[in-house]
């Protein structure tokens, strides 16, 4: 929970999930501008579009990616630079085991939603398809991807749905 999370954990999540991506992109950007061509593919998360309890630092970092790369896309469209934000939902990986707790230690457990998520192979195929189509954003997952659209219709309804889910 937010109240139980040390600020150092929030800073670490921003360093890895936001500033690492921004730093690498800034290093590549002059090359892309010089050649008038480039395509940034950013792996964000559905949590970059809407939040979930117990993931405040992660959600904040992923939201920040959207703000930064939406601006980069607008600033450098004239340079023929593309940006695709990939927004996975639950993918059956080790992400939940490696998630940080409020004190910065690893969670070291799987959650059911992640275990029942898309296979890495299925996710990868969908991601490649979105990149080839030069999509601005691609929401890749099962039922959870509809949260993006529910939030547009009714943020309060999405809030109630997410709070009832068994994600931890």
Instruction: For residue 58, indicate whether it is catalytic.
Output: yes
Indicate the domain borders of the chain: 2-164
Rounded alpha-carbon distances, angstroms, from residue 88 to 45, 76, 105 = 5, 25, 24
pTM listed for this prediction: 0.89
- β-pair partners for 82: 39
Note the CATH number of domain 2-164. Answer: 3.40.50.720
**pLDDT at 101 > cutoff 80:** no
For 110-162, how does the pLDDT look when each residue is reduced to its tens digit (9 = 90+)? 777 778 889 999 999 999 999 999 999 999 999 999 999 999 999 999 999 99
Q: What percent of the chain has pLDDT over 70?
A: 93
Give me the pLDDT at residue 99, please: 67
18, 32, 54, 58: the catalytic one is 58
What is the arrangement of strands in the sheet containing 137-140, beginning at the earlier edge strand?
38-43, 81-88, 137-140
């Amino acid at each position: 929970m937010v109240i139980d999370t040390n600020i150092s954990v929030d800073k670490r999540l921003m360093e890895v999930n936001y500033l690492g991506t921004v730093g690498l992109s800034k290093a590549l950007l002059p090359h892309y501008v010089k050649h008038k061509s480039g395509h940034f593919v950013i792996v964000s998360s559905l949590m970059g579009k809407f939040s979930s309890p117990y993931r405040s630092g992660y959600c904040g970092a992923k939201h920040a990616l959207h703000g930064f790369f939406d601006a980069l896309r607008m600033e450098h469209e004239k340079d023929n630079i593309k940006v695709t934000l990939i927004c996975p939902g639950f993918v059956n990986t080790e992400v939940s085991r490696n998630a940080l707790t409020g004190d910065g230690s690893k969670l070291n457990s799987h959650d059911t939603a992640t275990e029942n998520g898309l296979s890495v192979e299925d996710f990868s195929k969908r991601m490649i398809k979105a990149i080839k189509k030069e999509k601005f954003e691609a929401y890749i997952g099962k039922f959870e991807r509809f949260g993006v659209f529910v939030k547009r219709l009714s943020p309060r309804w999405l809030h109630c749905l997410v709070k009832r889910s068994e994600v931890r």
